[in-house]
Amino acid sequence: MCDSIIQVEVIIPTQTKYLDLIGSIGEHIAKKLDEFSGDREALAYHLNLVLTEATVNAIKHANHNNPKDTVKIAIYIQENELNIKVHDHGQGFDLESVPLPDLDHPKEGGMGLFLIRTLMDSVTYTRHGDCNILEIIKYLH
């Protein structure tokens, strides 16, 4: 296996007490990226945030009828591409129909996906068999 590949997979129960764990994995990974020449502290925060928001989103859309439901988070880095996939087992939703927040008239909710889209380069949400995958890509320069 090539040295430049990092692959992490974590499966958690659908509970918010695990957000800290998921976020801190992102933060640690950012600090290990030897090739990254940008603001490492900012990247660490952004990965922490994006993983936290994406996991909250998956928990929110999880199958709440099943107390044993889980969320799987997979982080994959190869060369200059960081890829995050968050799997949930809920009904899913239409990513394109999620409105942009009105920043001139801020509301309490609806900022999570906006933050992910703003900080990352590509976001998709697709159905695969019995689960949905939120796929997030960030190009590291």
Partner 1 sequence: MIFDLEKIKGYSVLFIREERIDAHNSNDLKETILHLIEQGESHIIIQLEQVRFIDSSGLGALLSGYKNAAAKSGKLVITNMQRQVLSMFELTRLNRVFEIYVDLTEVFDDET
Instruction: Return residues touching partner 1 (CB under 8 A).
Output: 16-17, 19-20, 23, 41-42, 45, 48-49, 52-53, 56, 59, 101, 103-104, 106-109, 111-112, 114-115, 118-119
Nearer to partner 1, 60 or 72 (CB): 60
Of the pair 108, 130, the CB lying nearest partner 1 is at: 108
Q: Give the shortest CB-103-to-partner 1 separation in angstroms.
A: 5
CB of 108 to partner 1, least distance (A): 4
Smallest gap from Cβ 15 to partner 1, in A, equals: 8
> Among residues 2 and 103, whose Cβ is nearest to partner 1?
103
Q: How far is the CB of 9 from partner 1 (least distance, A)?
A: 21
Nearer to partner 1, 59 or 134 (CB): 59
- Compute the residue count for the chain: 141
Nearest distance, CB of residue 95 and partner 1, angstroms: 16
β-partners of residue 132 are 88, 127
Beta carbon nearer to partner 1, 54 or 133: 54
Q: Is the dihedral of CA 127, 96, 78, 69 positive or negative?
A: negative
Q: Residue 66: left (phi > 0), alpha (psi -120 to 50), or beta? A: beta
**Exposed (0-12), middle (13-18) or buried (19+): which is 117, by Cβ within 10 Å?**
middle
Produce one character per residue of 19-56: b if its CB has 16 or more CB atoms within 10 Å, e if not.
Answer: beebbebbbebbeebeeeeeeeeebbbbbbbbbbbbbb
